[in-house]
Amino acid sequence: MDYSKYETVIGLEVHAQLLTESKLFCSDSAAFGGSPNTHISPITMAHPGTLPRMNKKAAEYAIKLGLACHCAIEKDNYFARKNYFYPDLPKGYQVSQHTAPICNGGYVRISTEAGTRDIQLNRIHLEEDAGKLLHDQDPAFSYVDYNRAGVPLVEIVSEPDMHSSDEAYAYLTELRRLVRYLSVCDGNMEEGSMRCDANISVRIKGTTTLGTKVEVKNMNSIRNVKRAIEAEVKRQIEILETGGRLIQETRSFDAATGSSFSLRSKEEANDYRYFPEPDLAPFKLSDAFIESIRATLPALPEELMQKYTTQYNLSEYDARVICDDKATADYFEALTVITAQYKAAANWMLGPVKSWLNEHSADIKDFPITPERLAQLIALADSGKVSFSIASSRILPEMINHPDEPMEIATRLNLLQDTNADNIGPIIDEVLAKYPDKVAAYRGGKKGLLALFVGEVMKASKGKADPRLTNELLAEKLKG
């Protein structure tokens, strides 16, 4: 079966729950969790006579994300009713945006092994979430928890602009990082605060007409989105190659089996019978309001990457790892305000600090050493008064348990390096006398043995010999 003659076309619809305290159209709590049906009121439950009221903060968050994604912001906005029935939708319809999304166009820049490219967006719009059906509480009934109903969402709709599962993976990773940087969504797919539906089709390479689109739902991780795309592409090609016909449908992905199954035929926009929501007045955004939100945008990963690789001369890999998490980038930013040893700061962040965090399953926010204290330790190691090895293995652990300055700890534990040639010289003599054959080999041309001698001197001095001075004295003594 020839899979190579087909091109994959992917568009993703990502729902992100906004981190507002209250719901989109009422003051009920939008917090995750809580006992079932405790974050509800007559408005959430759509009781007769209740009226919705717009959450201004939700609009601000949507605009913030739109600006970060290079979208055009729609100034004249209104909501529409999207009519369809689900048991967890209290109104029997969803309040969403249809012809006037709050953000139009834009793109998300991704990096893959094939290079960097911009994934084009169609729109970002606001809408309310539905509740949640629970099928595992009773063998005969399904239960409904309406706590999530009415929680504000943005739906980020890409163009059919991705052509591999790797691109989709990179896009979702970048989008999750972006919403976290902006603090508009926690990006937690496992808790359902970020959800993704994939629209997938295949076509013969070289053709421009889109193939029959299949939507795949129920993917609770970025990895499972990648798996679902790969499985669906394989399924579609095999159907076409054996003479079958694809139908436009919605399928659900089963992570346990790695396969999908049909849910229903896919609805078209006219199936939803959109019309303007009569209970909500249109809202107009001023230029001043939009610009006030733009002023709150933090430095985003793309900007920080550029700064770290050009101004700080970090490798692209180091810069990417630091920028991967906003809290880590914030710590590094605070660190570089205090020290100009940017490469050393990055090495500490990606070395000893990261090791401690991994060992303790902790976040950088839990790291007990302030950027100010870590900068002091970097300066101490850079001065040559202690080695990097001693600083990371002895002083850093002590700093975690004691508030003392690094120099105080080094002095108290007698860890300061010996820079006195009169003290180091006799140790070098002992080491060279211990390895006469190695000395002869070195003088015979095996210059790589210098590292062995340095290591032995450091061991004999219990790490206190100044490495730079040790190298100089060894080189001088080995001449003879």
> In the structure, what pLDDT confidence band is assigned to residue 480 with cuts at 50, 70 and 90?
low
Structure tokens at 206: 């070289």
| CA–CA distance, 421 with 221 (Å, rounded to integer) | 59
Task: Grade residue 415 by pLDDT with cuts at 50, 70 and 90.
Answer: confident
Between the alpha carbon of residue 334 and those of residues 303, 327, 342, 370, the distances in Å are 16, 11, 11, 9
pLDDT band at 110 (very low <50, low <70, confident <90, very high): very high
Kindly tell me if the per-residue pLDDT of 418 is higher than 80.
no
More confident residue, 268 or 330: 330
Q: What is the pLDDT of residue 383?
A: 86
Give tens-digit pLDDT for 112-170.
888 899 999 999 999 999 999 998 899 999 999 999 999 999 999 999 999 999 999 99
- The overall average pLDDT reported for the chain is 92
pLDDT at 171 over 90: yes
CA 452 to mean position of chain CA atoms:
43
Q: How far is CA 82 from CA 45, 260, 276, in A?
A: 17, 27, 9
Rounded-to-integer distance, Cα 380 and Cα 371, Å: 14
Distance from C-alpha of 44 to C-alpha of 324, rounded to nearest angstrom = 37
Question: Do the Cβ atoms of 199 and 218 come closer than 8 Å?
Answer: no
The pLDDT value recorded for residue 473 is 78
Q: What is the DSSP letter of 235?
A: H
CA distance 380 to 406: 7
Percent of the chain having pLDDT more than 90? 75
Average pLDDT over residues 25-30: 97
Q: Cα angle at 208 between 204 and 211, to 5 degrees?
A: 60
For residues 255, 256, 262 and 267, what is the CA-based torsion angle, rounded to 10 degrees?
-20
As a whole number, mean pLDDT of residues 314-319 equals: 95
Residue with tokens 């219990």: 462
Q: What is the pLDDT of residue 153?
A: 97
Sign of CA dihedral 391, 305, 166, 185: positive
Candidates 475, 478, 462, 455; CA nearest to 418 is 462
What's residue 266's pLDDT? 62
pLDDT in tens, 33-73: 899 999 999 999 999 999 999 999 999 999 999 999 999 99
pLDDT at residue 326 is higher than 80 = yes
- Rounded Cα distance between 78 and 76, Å, is 7
Which residues are paired to 134 by β-bridges? 143
**3 state DSSP class of 16:** strand
What tens digit of pLDDT does each residue of 355-402 get? 999 999 999 999 999 999 999 999 999 888 888 888 999 999 999 988
pLDDT the model gives residue 470: 79
Q: Read off φ and ψ for residue 402, nearest 5 degrees.
A: -135, 145
Please tell me the predicted confidence (pLDDT) of residue 420: 62
Q: Which amino acid is it at 279? A: D
Quick one: CA torsion of 345, 350, 355, 357, rounded to 10 degrees? 80
Query: For residue 160, which of 124, 113, 202 has the smallest C-alpha distance?
Result: 202
Residue 383 or 172, more confident: 172
Kindly indicate the confidence band of residue 463, based on its pLDDT and cuts at 50, 70 and 90: confident
C-alpha–C-alpha distance, residues 386 and 247, integer Å = 69
Q: Is 30 a residue whose pLDDT tops 70?
A: yes
